[in-house]
Amino acid sequence: MSIQTLIVDDEPLARDRVRQLLQSDQEFQIAGECRNGAEAVEAIRKARPDLVFLDVQMPEVDGFGVIEAIGARNMPAVIFVTAYDKYALRAFDENALDYLLKPYDERRFQRAVQRVKDHLNRGSSNNVTERMLALLQDVSPERKAMDRLVIKSDGRVVFLKTREVDYAEAAGNYLSLHVGKDTYLIRETMNAFEARLDPEKFLRIHRSTIVNIERIKEVQPWFKGEYVVTLRDGTELSLSRTYRDKLRQFLAQS
């Protein structure tokens, strides 16, 4: 019997990664993919999958919101997939089978997959202590913010201090880093990149945009709850309603 699997992540590159790693294992069948928590709730209720790879940090309805909407007792097996290590203990409280911390390699992924197989083979008799240790073994107690980037560009290797980045925006399967008049492409998801940055120096203002706080000149209300963020060089960026609370929190702290 195949393991019906649902993949939930707001970033296409992250969904692709899970799907590709599962393709070589015939025991798993992809039951569907979801771009957000609301889609996930509907898909779980309709498809009733055996397993969900569930992103934690998503706009509006996050991974924990999905569990709350479905109900812990009605949830299939869950593997949380996230760029943020701070949710590990809460993931354990929600009875997650595993906690994949982005970026993860194939070996770590296969360990999580094997854990799912073991769990489904023996039902709900999983040992709590073993699961807690498994959830925490790959989560460091403290992660330092990234202060330097090494980028391959046009046959060169470019070294950048993160503080030099004006803003970053999604560009398909890449991120476009704007540094003065220069632009560099790196292959990384927005969530993973955000998790590596210092939250006191960079602000997520849109699902596809992160801005260096020091580059912000002014913020003005626009329409339908959105804002226009103007940088010191005149660049105008959109701050969506989803990220208003982050801006308010930053202003309050300032």
Across the range 41-59, mean pLDDT stands at: 90
Of 51-60, 124-133, 152-161, minimum mean pLDDT range:
124-133
Asked whether 176 and 184 are in contact (CB, 8 A), the reply is yes
Query: With 0-12 CB in 10 A as exposed, 13-18 as middle and 19+ as buried, what is 157?
Result: exposed
Sign of CA dihedral 74, 79, 80, 81: negative
Of 26-35, 151-160, 197-206, minimum mean pLDDT range:
151-160
Most confident of 51-65, 82-96, 118-132: 51-65
Question: How high does pLDDT run on average in the chain?
Answer: 83
Task: State the pLDDT at residue 246.
Answer: 75
* Full set of structural domains in the chain with CATH: 3-136 (3.40.50.2300), 148-253 (2.40.50.1020)
Read off the pLDDT band of 33 (50, 70, 90).
very high
Across the range 65-80, mean pLDDT stands at: 84
User: Which one-letter DSSP state was computed for residue 103?
Assistant: S
Asked whether 66 and 31 are in contact (CB, 8 A), the reply is no
Task: State the pLDDT at residue 136.
Answer: 42
Cα 146 off chain centre by: 17
Across the range 96-110, mean pLDDT stands at: 86
- Each residue's pLDDT tens digit, 169-222: 998 878 999 999 999 998 888 887 888 888 889 999 998 999 999 999 999 988
How many residues comprise the chain?
Answer: 254
pTM score, whole prediction? 0.56
Looking at per-residue pLDDT, the higher value among 143 and 61 belongs to: 61
Token pair, residue 66, equals 């999905």
